[in-house]
A and B are shown apart, each in its own frame.
Chain A
Amino acid sequence: MHRALLEPYQHRRSAIHRLPAGLKAGGALAFVLVIALLPRASWTAYGAGAGVLLLLAGLSRIRPRALALRLLLVEPFALGVALLSLLQQDGLRIFAATLTKSTLCLFCMVLLSSTTRFSALLRLLWRIRVPSLLVTTLALMHRYLFVLADETACMVRARRSRTFTQDRASAWRSSASVIAQLFVRSSERAERIYAAMCARGWKT
């Protein structure tokens, strides 16, 4: 699932991509806040919000199919929670309003994350004085996410090529071994990274 998500659209050039990250992030935050906190029945505002988002999506020149795919990947979670709200008085209206709100907000965040580099967002977090340990953690995590994902895929492929048939119990056991091995490798890698960081003059 995440393979599709990791495909980057962040490096395209368009009017939206070139806007400063602070403006986009601030705008997205304001949009999400307004939509999420509006009273449930404000359908005209939802329509206007959708219009603005579609306009921005058009300007960003990302293929509509790619945006729709990313939206569809995260939508089921919202739908699942929203279904629970059907089981009460006036449930259908609450359901429709909640689902509309969350879809608009999801669309907004998908748009933000596909037009803004994560490193720009990190720099923004740094500038608004989020504690440096948290920003460092996020930066390291983002940097090594793809490395570890590749390493996991590599180990899973190696396991598949060695087990021809597999029952559920051994699938669980071997997946757990993969995760354990991944942790061992991560902690070894962390040691090497620390040595490299020190070699380049890093201080806490």
Chain B
Amino acid sequence: MHIPDGFLDAKTAVITSALATAGLGVALAGVRRTLPPRRIPLIGLAAAFVFAAQMLNFPVAGGTSGHLVGAVLAAVLLGPGAAVLVMSAVLILQCLMFADGGVTALGANVFDMALVAPAVGYGVYRLLRRLVGEGLRGRLFATAFAAWCSTVAAAISCAGLLALSGTVPLRVALPAMGGIHMLIGLGEALITTLVVAAVARARPELLLERTGPRLRPRYGELAAQGLLVALGLALFVAPFASSWPDGLEQVAATLGFEHRAAATPALAAPLSGYVIPRVGSAALSTVIAGVAGTLVAFGLAWLLASLLTTPRSRGARPGGKGEAPRAPRAA
């Protein structure tokens, strides 16, 4: 999903850079305020960890492979502000050292993958945690669905950016990016959940630390991030109402979809002002596809959480094979 240079025009590059800078500033201030100095090295190490984890390939059908993105993993393991910082550091390093993702598109990439993805993911995660309770099954279910939502939301935001720059028309970009990432999101959800489950098995105290009282003062920061994300999405998607002949239906599809897929309160508030009087059949089918996809992902997330927390299902596997390997102690 890294946008290279040359795909964004000046206005999109400037807007996204401003939003990314503001979001990163809020995250930095929040982390500096709430993070004890003891944990500052952990942020840097976590960034290196996310980068290293992205290099591990997971086999998908037919010789292709995918890898973890890690936005929700970082948010669940470290908290939302730290996740924004970690993902931004990963993107900046990829851009400067490996030319992966453009310099002029750095703002856009940070906005997509370091702001939208963790903010939407963490919003969904907190919401579901409150709904389904604090147990391990609830945690895993919330993680799985949040990872799926964050992948899809980042893809939609990316499609909106490309369309706003006039590189790819929205009616191509949205179904292509959204559709593909609804599948990719399943993989991301599976990996993220498996990793969180494995951390919970190996070192539960690393996870329990996060649910402590330190989460309280972060709600203001989370609200600010959510507002920025919502503002950006509104900016990138709303102009199509005027500039495209059939843009209205597309906007309806996008907003309806966005509203459904990323069920964060922060998103719903600014977007609910758009009341679309008539929705075309193409848009309707997109919305239905989006809703159906969301429901399927929701069900799969629940199934995965149940499978991982039922002791019998793990016992069925040949003893210890494929279990966490004990690597030789690093010297």
Chain A residues within CB distance 8 Å of chain B: 1-2, 5, 28-29, 32-33, 35-37, 70, 74, 77-78, 81-82, 84-85, 87-88, 94, 97-102, 104-106, 109-110, 112-113, 118, 121, 131, 133-134, 136-145, 147-149, 151-152, 154-156, 158-159, 162-163, 166, 168, 170-187, 189-191, 193-194, 197, 204
Is B327's CB under 8 angstroms from A109's CB? no
Q: List 6 A-B contacts (CB under 8 A).
A: A74-B100, A84-B173, A84-B176, A137-B47, A154-B330, A176-B194
A74–B51 Cα distance when bound, in Å, is 16
Contacts A134-B85, A134-B89, A174-B322; is A29 near B40 (CB within 8 Å)?
no
Other-chain contact of A102, B6, B39, B52 (Cβ < 8 Å): B6
Contact between chains at B58 and A172 (CB < 8 Å): yes
Query: Is B8 an interface residue, CB under 8 A from the partner?
Result: yes
- Majority SS of interface residues in chain B? helix
Check B4–A29 contact: CB distance below 8 A.
no
| Chain B, 72-113, CB within 8 A of any chain A CB | 77, 85-86, 88-90, 92-93, 95-100, 102-104
Beyond known contacts A163-B322, A186-B46: 14 more, CB 8 A cutoff = A36-B103, A37-B104, A77-B4, A81-B4, A84-B176, A102-B7, A105-B104, A137-B43, A138-B89, A172-B191, A179-B191, A180-B201, A181-B324, A185-B330
At the interface, yes or no: B9 with Cβ under 8 Å from chain A? yes
For A155, the chain B residues whose CB sits under 8 A away are 325, 327
Q: Name the residue of chain A whose CB is nearest to the CB of B31.
A: A133
> A37 to chain B: closest CB distance in Å?
5
Please determine whether B95 and A174 come into contact, CB atoms closer than 8 angstroms: no
Binds A, one of B161-169, B234-242, B266-274, B285-293: B161-169
Known: A70-B99, A149-B52. A136 touches B8 (CB 8 A): no
B contacts with A, residue count (CB < 8 A): 82
The answer to whether B52 touches A182, judged by C-beta atoms less than 8 angstroms apart, is yes
* Contact between chains at B104 and A36 (CB < 8 Å): yes
Question: Contacts A152-B56, A154-B327, A187-B42 known; A33 to B49 CB distance under 8 Å?
Answer: no
- Does B328 count as interface, using CB distance less than 8 angstroms? yes
Specify which of B3, B39, B49, B86 lies most central, judged by the most chain A CB atoms within 10 Å of its CB. B49
| Contact A184 to B89, CB < 8 A, known contacts A155-B325, A158-B327 | no
Q: Let me know if A189 and B3 touch, CB within 8 A.
A: no
B37 interface residue (CB < 8 Å to A): yes
| A118 contacts across to B, CB distance below 8 A | 96-97
B191 near A176 (CB under 8 angstroms)? yes
Smallest CB gap from A204: residue in B: B37
| B221 CB-CB contact with A under 8 Å | no
The minimal Cβ–Cβ distance linking B156 to chain A, given in whole angstroms, is 14
Establish whether residues B58 and A171, one from each chain, have CB atoms under 8 Å apart when the complex forms: yes
Query: Which residues from chain B contact A154 at a C-beta distance below 8 Å?
Result: 327-328, 330
- Measured CB to CB, the closest approach of chain B to A16, in angstroms, equals 16
**Pair B198/A176 contact, Cβ less than 8 Å:** yes
Contact A141 B51 (CB under 8 A): yes
C-alpha gap A156/B6 in the complex (Å): 37
Contact B324–A109 (Cβ < 8 Å): no
Pair B98/A74 contact, Cβ less than 8 Å: yes
Residues of chain A within 8 A (CB-CB) of B98 are 2, 5, 74, 113
Q: In the complex, what distance in Å separates the CA atom of A64 from the CA atom of B25?
A: 40
Which of B103, B190, B196, B206 contacts A105, CB < 8 Å? B103
- Assembly CA distance A195 to B98 (angstroms): 31
Q: Please state if B56 and A149 are interface contacts (CB–CB under 8 Å).
A: no
